[in-house]
Amino acid sequence: MVADTILAIDQGTTNSKAVLVDQDGRIVARGSAPVAIEHPAPGHVQQDAEGIWASVQTAVVECLRERPETRVAAIGISNQRESVVAWRRSTGEPIGPVITWQCRRTTAWTNELKSQGVEPEVTAKTGLPLDPLFPAYKIRWLLEAVGTTEDILVGTVDSWLIWKFTGGAVHATDRSNASRTQLLDVRSGRWDQGLCEMFEVPTGVLPEVRDSQGTFGVTDGADVVPDGTVLASAIGDSHAALFGHGAFAPGDAKMTFGTGSSVMMNVPDFVVPSHGLTTTIAWSIDGRSTYALEGNILVSASLFPWLATILGLNGDVGRLMGLAESVEDSAGVTIVPAMVGLGAPYWEPEARGLVTGLTFASSAAHIARAAAASIALQVADVFEAMRTQSDVAEGAVYVDGGPSSNRFLMELVASHLGRSIEAGLAPEVSALGAATLAGLAMEWWDGLAAVAALERGRVTVKSRRDTAGVERERAGWRDAMARCIMQPQPIGELRAD
């Protein structure tokens, strides 16, 4: 008997993944392919749209090769957020590069708009601050580069993949991705004419906004899957991870650890964000949006190989973590990893990395311990901001990403949160979220309760630190953070008392 599976695609910044998920919610096959990134000028980060599509095709072929006997019942898509593609409606030919979420080429336009004092209005509608991260001005940049809007379509990466899979029949996006463009009124879930005029983006080039779960068309000429296969979900990758963990109740949260970290918490209603957070549509089902607070941390695990090199460990992160675990505490050493500025909840782009508390008694192990603790201390700051922003009761906290497999590091996180956390054993949580959304659309499961009940493979990580030790570490962190974000005086203004 041929088994039915959902083919889930997780199109990320550096690679595209494909997995097959069965009706028990288990991942039964995997495939992946790298994606190239270009840096043509300082602050400019871009990719090739056809290269992204080719990587998805390669990942799908590799995945299906593992289970040639399976029948794909539907496809779900999760994708890197805030990256923008433009192409010709008539031919499907990409126009210009994919401007990625990391790109800062629209900084001048963003700063000019900020100077007009409209940021509160934008945030009240979109849940987002004015920042080059978001796609609105990237769309304008692409349109100005081509010099016309005739025959031009634009969208985030999910829209591009939907267009390619359906042979150009469907130009659509889901509300989670649309909510990150800064062109969507997140309360209504529709493109906002006033925002489009503010950012000089004509609504005619934008995709249709749909639920995250539902029919986005059927495949036509995609080669790697049979024609007529239903596209049944689309969702941004961070949102997909929240869904993949089954974090469906207000107060449930997830932390994704990687180069940076994303912290997202399910909230009952839209709130205008503060404290360095954003509010976003987590997903949309049957016309109803679920909202989330989000905080993004710029430097997390990327600190480790750098420090392992500085300490003479040849970049070996395993040895660095072994050093960190060999001592009871950091002996007063604190590291603020602000190498590229500070993200949530501070948002100080000019801040830079800092080490405090060094003495002649400090050792490499103490410095390694301080580096490990910085990961936990940063996410604790974001959670504190979330508790200040929303009075929702605390729910479950799930963790994923490569560093979440390190038990010692996750115990530090649990200690600074003051609660147990749930670490997933499968690394493809975003793909699992897209798959379960698609499965809901195909009526594989009867509602969110049935999805939440699927076996996911988790381990509970508890705090193993005494309260006094945690408080000492947090006091040192607060002092170091104050030093890090303090504006230094110009040399000419310094004087002796």
pLDDT at 488 over 80: no
Write out pLDDT tens, residues 276-315.
899 999 999 999 999 999 998 888 888 999 999 999 999 9
453 domain residue, yes or no: no
104 domain residue, yes or no: yes
The backbone region for 370, taken as left when phi is positive above 0, alpha when psi lies in -120 to 50, beta otherwise, is alpha
296 domain residue, yes or no: no
Q: Quote the CA–CA distance of 43 and 272 in Å, as a whole number.
A: 29
Q: How many CB atoms lie within 10 A of CB 456?
A: 19
68 domain residue, yes or no: yes
In whole numbers, what is the pLDDT of the chain averaged over residues?
A: 91
Write out pLDDT tens, residues 351-375.
889 999 999 999 999 999 999 999 9
Q: What is the Cβ-side half-sphere exposure of residue 189, based on CA atoms within 13 angstroms?
A: 20
Q: Quote the CA–CA distance of 65 and 20 in Å, as a whole number.
A: 11
pLDDT-derived band at 425, boundaries 50, 70, 90: confident
Write out pLDDT tens, residues 94-148.
999 999 988 889 989 999 999 999 999 999 999 999 988 899 999 999 999 998 8
**DSSP codes of every residue in 411-442:** HHHHHHHTS-EEEES-S-HHHHHHHHHHHHHT
198 domain residue, yes or no: yes
Instruction: Give kind and range of the element (H or E) at residue 70.
Output: none
290 domain residue, yes or no: no
Q: By the 8 A CB rule, do 60 and 231 touch?
A: no
Instruction: Give kind and range of the element (H or E) at residue 359.
Output: none
Q: Quote the CA–CA distance of 290 and 211 in Å, as a whole number.
A: 11
Which positions ≥6 away from 366 have C-beta within 8 Å?
327, 329, 330, 331, 333
Q: What are phi and psi of 399, to 5 degrees?
A: -130, 145
Cis, bond preceding 345 (omega within 30 deg of 0): yes
pLDDT-derived band at 490, boundaries 50, 70, 90: very low
Torsion, Cα 19 305 134 32, to 10 degrees, reads -20
CATH value at residue 116: 3.30.420.40
Q: Quote the CA–CA distance of 397 and 204 in Å, as a whole number.
A: 41
278 domain residue, yes or no: no
421-424 and 397-400 beta bridge pairing: parallel
Residue ranges making up the domain that contains 210: 4-245
Q: How many domains does the chain have?
A: 1
pTM of the model: 0.89
216 domain residue, yes or no: yes
pLDDT at 493 over 50: no
Q: By the 8 A CB rule, do 300 and 261 touch?
A: yes
Q: By the 8 A CB rule, do 324 and 365 touch?
A: yes
